[in-house]
Amino acid sequence: MAILGHNIIRVEFEKNPVPGGQVEVSLNPKIEELRLGEINLPNGKVKGIEVELTYNIIYSPEVGKGMIRMIVFYLPRNREDVDNILDNWEKEKKLPGELVAEVVNFANNLLIPFAMMITKEMGMPSPIPIPRVVVRQ
């Protein structure tokens, strides 16, 4: 159904002194843990799934690194699926594709601009390429 809330719980960025040159950046979101959660809404409490996600930003060569950890409150379309999703996670560490897509897309939309702001302030390369205009003769 939707992401009803989020909480950034840890942010770490480190800059290393490395000579210039071509830098490659890898963005790696990883779902670490799932657990039963509850959120207060105006019409009462709703049970859903708390998804703990770590978002790693890795540079090659190692000009730095970044990590953002967050918790996302996910509510499946069918509320009865909450128990099934948590049971499958506990038994096999498997997740439905819809949950993964929803959570990772939400994290990308929220964390990439956040990471761009932090890396700019620290003088590090942007985690995604910024379009550049080139004048041709």
Domain boundaries, the chain: 2-122
- Tell me the pTM: 0.85
Residue by residue, pLDDT tens for the chain (137 residues) are 589 899 999 999 999 887 677 888 999 999 999 999 998 888 888 899 999 999 999 998 888 999 999 999 999 888 888 999 999 999 998 998 899 999 999 999 999 999 999 999 998 888 887 777 888 88
Cα gap 131→108, rounded to integer Å: 18
CA distances from 36 to 40, 49, 102 (A): 14, 5, 17
E strands within the chain? 2-15, 24-41, 44-60, 64-75
pLDDT for the residue numbered 104 = 93
Per residue in 54-93, is it b (16+ CB within 10 Å) or e — as a string? Answer: bbebebeeebbebbbbbbbbbbbeeeebbeebeeebeeee
Main-chain phi, psi angles of 107, to 5 degrees: -60, -45
